[in-house]
Amino acid sequence: MRKRKGLWGIGLSALLLLASFPAARGQEVTTFVLDNGMQFILQENHSNPMIASVVAVKAGSRHETETNNGVSHLLEHLLFSGTRSRSRQEIAGEIKRKSGYLNAFTRKDATAYILLIPKEFVEEGLEIQADMLFNATIPEEELAKERKVVIEEINKDLDTPRYQVELAFDQQVYAQTPYARPILGSKKIVADLPRSQILGYYHRHYVPNNMVALITGDFDTQEMIQRLKRRFEIFPPRPLPSEPPPSPPAWARPPSPTAPTERVVYQPGPVQTVQIQLAFPAP
């Protein structure tokens, strides 16, 4: 186990859990790194007998290409569909019987997996979470189901004025950068992306040295460190894919002599309300 201070993506997980566990504010935070490179942030909170674990994987739409845009979000769905030792139904059933909760979300910079469970079942809960993260099998029949689910999500978003505004905004502000891509991807890519490419993306990115976990709740820190070592240190690290090159948003690039100093995007549509989204560059 290696000690280290610099933990990427702390804000993504910390904001989520600190909002859920307000009594934890001011409590001591412990950070550590396992020998396989997986990073952890621990914060005790004894206000109720629950423990929350959020594992963020550095695999969001920013890490995709034009040809696999949407794979991060599709994969988020698929991690609930079964492992080498558990079916989808067994994952859901075991967590439900222990009065636990599983969920996930995808963002541009990461995908996060959430576990909330009573403290007496934390060992079993962490084992299930680790199993999902590292032993997913992505069965063909489950992939076919999730393609339909995600395409329906895309259809709903496309019918939402707010989403259309945000999409147009991102494509203008972050033009020619990975941040311009929609997190859900396109219906065509989601429908046609081969299983082999999804598995390849999974095996490249879902490795312990590409993850950071935030654990908060009713536990003893030293005991929790030993639990986490048992559950997560067994998974070996692997070389990571190269990071997308940094590319500033459109407004941060030197404008051409004829470029306007402000950009305005109009997104007309059959709606009865007007939505305005403003943004300004800042240091």
Q: What is the pLDDT of residues 37-91, one digit of tens each?
A: 999 999 999 999 999 999 999 999 999 999 999 999 999 999 999 999 999 999 9
**Which has the closest alpha carbon to 265: 252, 255, 275?**
275
pLDDT at 169: 85
Alpha carbons 282 and 102: distance in angstroms, whole number: 37
Tell me the pLDDT tens digit for each residue of 103-150.
999 999 999 999 999 999 999 999 999 999 999 999 999 999 999 999
Crossing angle, helix 122-134 and helix 221-232, to 10 degrees?
A: 30
Domains along the sequence of the chain with CATH: 10-238 (3.30.830.10)
pLDDT at 12: 46
Is residue 64 a contact partner of residue 70, using CB atoms and an 8 Å limit?
yes
- The 3-state DSSP composition of the chain as helix, strand, coil percent (nearest 5) reads 45, 15, 40
**Which has the closest alpha carbon to 213: 199, 201, 227, 202?**
227
Q: Is the dihedral of CA 208, 209, 210, 211 positive or negative?
A: positive
User: Buried (b) or exposed (e) across 183-204, using 16+ Cβ within 10 A?
Assistant: bbbebebbeebeeeebbebbee
Tell me the pLDDT tens digit for each residue of 190-209.
999 999 999 999 999 999 99
**Confidence category of residue 15, pLDDT binned at 50, 70, 90:** very low
How far is the CA of 196 from the CAs of 80, 208, 235, 263, in angstroms? 18, 21, 22, 41
pLDDT at 26: 60
Is residue 267 a contact partner of residue 168, using CB atoms and an 8 Å limit?
yes
pLDDT reading at 3 higher than 50: no
Name the residues annotated as catalytic: 76
pLDDT reading at 18 higher than 60: no
**Confidence category of residue 250, pLDDT binned at 50, 70, 90:** low
**Which has the closest alpha carbon to 250: 239, 229, 265?**
265
What is the mean predicted confidence (pLDDT) over 17-39? 76
pLDDT at 253: 59
pLDDT at 257: 55
pLDDT reading at 13 higher than 50: no
More confident residue, 273 or 32: 32
What is the mean predicted confidence (pLDDT) over 239-260? 68
Q: What is the pTM of this model?
A: 0.87
